[in-house]
């Protein structure tokens, strides 16, 4: 059996931490005049905790992505990131988040190239015939640079919110060093990397070309990535949003090195690596578009070839300020945003009920709820934020939840009815708008 998808695995019932219950009560007061939006928020905000989260006996936390019984490094962070602002005075929420950080570090030590992991070493895999070095712990081994960056992001945001440092033990530092080592190796992918990946299932986006090594790249200082945040193979293997995220992660790790581990040699090493990647982005990652001016490319090979597009997944071009690489008023980002929300982006679609960004991961004319949520989160005006919230509210197909992609003419035609990341991102947008008083 090539594709090994198990039925839904029931997760233990997790009592909602008090701070999360308080948010739901606050919403009942502030969103009472919009009953459908209130119900959507009450469904989506706690969805990760209610349906995908399991506290483990070893003190860690396991978070499945929803309809797949595995934990993605990327997804699991985005599934819980909207809870972090409430963790400072809630020990139950601290247990959940710190446990997830610990499990991330354990997984990185098992295999820093893997994107998704099993709850135990049960030898379950998305595809049993993948040509790569698998482990019984690994569900899927698609190397995506953003996976490691999300692990660092989770630890950083948790630390900044709570001030707690108990997760930063020797194991954390060891995993951090593993990330740095991998980044350096993948700056020289063809010369130094042991990573190969092929999947012989007839789907080009699921496999890396050239015998699993990838298409040729020039040295740029950036970090090579096999796959995008959509789990689709890169066309050109320097993914620009992913490398921007790596720059941000390296800045976070510099704070860990300086203020937690007091390791000045490590700090200097991190600064050097950050400078190399950032220089590569600025030198190779900007395309002079005839209509929009200088924009950030989605991918490049360092030889002057570019992929000009945006994908609904995070990191993408739309999410650049969300990740913290530049602010939303950065001129090149603004140019890039206009490009991404135009027909020049091959994955921007317009229809009778919606318009927005989709993905090569789903069929043409499918817009992703996550893309609409991210557009709202990164919007410069309240009008655009409200427009996105209204579009999201109108396209749930009366299910009460967000999905992956849906058809721009008919939201009842959609993919993934249980996709916790999409629910979390939507509720993050709504909560911020609620707190800002624009709803």
Paired with 393 in beta bridges are none
Shortest CA distance to 61 belongs to which of 84, 85, 17, 94? 94
The dihedral region occupied by 210, where left means phi > 0, alpha psi between -120 and 50, and beta the remainder, is: left
Q: What angle do CA 24, 61, 261 make, to 5 degrees?
A: 105
Going by pLDDT thresholds of 50, 70 and 90, the confidence category of residue 375 is: very high
Which pTM value belongs to this model?
Answer: 0.96
3-class secondary structure, 164: coil
- Rounded CA-CA distance 350/407 in Å is 10
Look at the chain and count its residues: 439
Quote the tokens at residue 313: 């997944």
- Rounded CA-CA distance 142/117 in Å is 11
- Rounded CA-CA distance 172/155 in Å is 10
- Rounded CA-CA distance 141/111 in Å is 9
- Rounded CA-CA distance 368/375 in Å is 11
Q: What is the pLDDT of residue 67?
A: 86
309-332 confidence digits (pLDDT tens): 999 999 999 999 999 999 999 999
Q: What angle do CA 423, 6, 314 make, to 5 degrees?
A: 35
What average pLDDT does range 260-284 have in this prediction?
Answer: 98
Delineate the domains of the chain, giving CATH numbers in brackets: 18-435 (1.50.10.10)
Q: What is the pLDDT of residue 11?
A: 65
Across the chain, what does the average pLDDT equal? Answer: 96
Sign for the CA dihedral angle at 234, 236, 238, 240 comes to negative
7-56 confidence digits (pLDDT tens): 455 566 789 999 999 999 999 999 999 999 999 999 999 999 999 999 99
- The residue with tokens 């796959």 is 227
Quote the tokens at residue 85: 């602002």
The dihedral region occupied by 214, where left means phi > 0, alpha psi between -120 and 50, and beta the remainder, is: left
Instruction: Indicate the burial class of 368 (C-beta count within 10 angstroms; 0-12, 13-18, 19 or more).
Output: buried
Q: What is the pLDDT of residue 202?
A: 86
- Rounded CA-CA distance 243/235 in Å is 15
* Statement: residue 3 has pLDDT above 80: no
């Amino acid at each position: 059996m090539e594709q090994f998808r198990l039925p839904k695995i029931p997760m233990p019932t997790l009592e909602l931490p008090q701070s999360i219950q308080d948010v739901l009560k606050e919403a009942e007061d502030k969103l009472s005049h919009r009953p459908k939006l209130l119900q959507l928020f009450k469904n989506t905000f706690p969805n990760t905790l209610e349906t995908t989260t399991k506290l483990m006996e070893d003190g860690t936390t396991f978070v499945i992505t929803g309809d797949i019984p595995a934990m993605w490094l990327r997804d699991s962070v985005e599934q819980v990131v909207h809870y972090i602002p409430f963790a400072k005075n809630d020990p139950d929420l601290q247990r959940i988040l710190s446990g997830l950080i610990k499990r991330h570090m354990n997984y990185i030590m098992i295999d820093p190239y893997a994107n998704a992991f099993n709850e135990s070493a049960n030898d379950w895999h998305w595809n049993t015939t993948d040509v790569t070095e698998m482990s019984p712990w690994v569900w899927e081994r698609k190397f995506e640079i953003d996976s490691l960056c999300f692990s660092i992001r989770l630890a950083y945001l948790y630390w900044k919110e709570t001030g707690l440092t108990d997760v930063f033990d020797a194991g954390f530092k060891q995993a951090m060093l593993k990330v740095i080592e991998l980044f350096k190796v993948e700056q020289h992918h063809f010369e130094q990397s042991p990573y190969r990946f092929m999947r012989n299932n007839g789907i080009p986006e699921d496999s890396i070309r050239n015998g699993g090594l990838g298409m040729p790249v020039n040295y740029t200082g950036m970090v090579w990535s096999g796959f995008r945040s959509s789990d689709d193979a890169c066309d050109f293997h320097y993914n620009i949003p992913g490398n921007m995220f790596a720059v941000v992660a390296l800045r976070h790790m510099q704070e860990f090195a300086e203020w937690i581990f007091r390791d000045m040699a490590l700090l200097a090493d991190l600064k050097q690596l950050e400078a190399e990647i950032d220089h590569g982005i600025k030198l190779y990652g900007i395309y002079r578009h005839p209509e929009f001016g200088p924009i950030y490319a989605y991918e490049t090979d360092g030889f002057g070839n570019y992929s000009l597009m945006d994908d609904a997944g995070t990191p993408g071009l739309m999410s650049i300020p969300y990740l913290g690489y530049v602010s939303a008023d950065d001129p090149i980002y603004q140019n890039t945003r206009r490009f991404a929300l135009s027909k020049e982006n091959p994955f921007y679609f317009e229809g009778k009920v919606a318009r927005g960004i989709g993905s090569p991961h789903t069929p043409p004319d499918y817009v992703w709820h996550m893309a609409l949520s991210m557009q709202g989160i990164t919007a410069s005006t309240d009008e655009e934020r409200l427009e996105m919230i209204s579009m999201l509210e109108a396209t749930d197909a009366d299910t009460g939840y967000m999905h992956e992609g849906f058809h721009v003419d008919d939201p009842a035609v959609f993919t993934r009815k249980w996709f916790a990341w999409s629910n979390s991102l939507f509720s993050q947008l709504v909560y911020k708008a609620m707190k800002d008083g624009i709803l």
